[in-house]
């Protein structure tokens, strides 16, 4: 195994372990489930945008987005040149790891899309002396979401890298393989944009409502470390 590929596997192992430990200690899933049921019962089958469940979920989703954009570049390490023959082949181990991790993060994105169709929003009203009014009408919620972040979320969650790696690339050879590899690189780069776009507004929303994204000092340090590793990974 080349030093470069070994470094990639070691970095992936550290990030994966760190993320799962971070999530496990930051968010107690029993508490998350209980707050979800409380939010669901307190309204007409619509989540309150400032309820405890969505506050916790947004934190989890932001972390999953950060992890996702750090996983996507791994697809670029899957096509490699054989040492014995000057031809391209797919690294089987890296292919499985990248596809499984990307599919895992996509599950969070799909859940987020579903929650967006069931999350009310607060609109200003002149009859309430400047106070916002919670809109719980599902048609209004769907219309608002479809006109804002829906297309961005759909573009971000499309499993195009998995399709190319698992279905398109294996039977190809020669120049066709190179063209498909270049398309994979373009798709990974293009899907970076909608994923990064979603991180910023959610992060600002969390900090506005809760002030901080983490509740303890070590968790804040871990979060800053993840951000630093992501920035260095993108720059590289």
pLDDT band at 120 (very low <50, low <70, confident <90, very high): confident
| Cβ-Cβ contacts under 8 Å for 34 (sequence gap 6 or more) | none
Higher per-residue pLDDT: 198 or 131: 198
Q: What is the pLDDT of residues 124-179, one digit of tens each?
A: 765 555 567 888 888 999 999 999 889 999 998 999 999 999 998 888 887 888 88
Sorted by where each begins, the domain ranges of the chain are 3-235
- On whether the CB atoms of residues 141 and 46 are closer than 8 A, the answer is yes
Tokens, residue 137: 């009408």
Mean pLDDT value across the chain: 76
Please tell me the predicted confidence (pLDDT) of residue 196: 79
Q: Is 129 left (phi over 0), alpha (psi -120 to 50) or beta?
A: left
Return the pLDDT at 213.
58
The answer to whether the beta carbons of residues 199 and 63 sit under 8 Å apart is no
Alpha-helix runs per DSSP H in 72-173? 92-116, 138-146, 150-157, 160-163
Buried b (16+ CB within 10 A) or exposed e, 1-26: eeeeeeebeeebeebbeebeebeeeb
Q: pLDDT, tens digit, for every residue of 16-63?
A: 555 555 555 545 555 655 666 656 555 557 888 888 888 888 888 888
Instruction: Please state at what angle helix 52-71 crosses helix 3-26, rounded to 10 degrees.
Output: 180
Q: Over 70: is that where the pLDDT of 13 sits?
A: no
Q: Which residue has the higher pLDDT, 86 or 227?
A: 86
**C-alpha distance from residue 205 to each of 75, 97, 131 (Å):** 31, 32, 18
């Amino acid at each position: 195994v080349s030093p470069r590929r070994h470094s990639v596997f070691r970095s992936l192992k550290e990030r994966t372990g760190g993320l799962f430990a971070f999530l496990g200690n930051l968010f107690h899933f029993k508490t998350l489930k209980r707050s979800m049921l409380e939010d669901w019962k307190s309204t007409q089958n619509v989540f309150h945008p400032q309820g405890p469940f969505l506050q916790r979920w947004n934190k989890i989703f932001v972390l999953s987005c950060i992890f996702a954009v750090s996983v996507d570049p791994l697809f670029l390490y899957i096509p490699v040149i054989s040492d014995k023959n000057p031809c391209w082949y797919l690294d089987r181990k890296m292919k499985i790891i990248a596809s499984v991790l990307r599919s895992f993060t996509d599950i969070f994105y799909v859940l987020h899309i579903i929650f967006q169709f069931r999350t009310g929003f607060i609109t200003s009203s002149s009859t309430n002396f400047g106070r916002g009014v919670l809109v719980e009408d599902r048609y209004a919620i769907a219309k608002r979401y479809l006109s804002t972040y829906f297309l961005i979320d759909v573009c971000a969650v499309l499993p195009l890298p998995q399709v190319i790696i698992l279905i398109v690339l294996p039977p190809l050879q020669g120049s066709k393989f190179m063209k498909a590899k270049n398309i994979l690189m373009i798709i990974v780069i293009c899907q970076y944009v909608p994923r990064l776009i979603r991180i910023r507004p959610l992060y600002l929303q969390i900090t506005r409502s809760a002030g901080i994204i983490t509740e303890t000092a070590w968790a804040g340090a871990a979060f800053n470390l993840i951000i630093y590793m992501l920035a260095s990974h993108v720059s590289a």
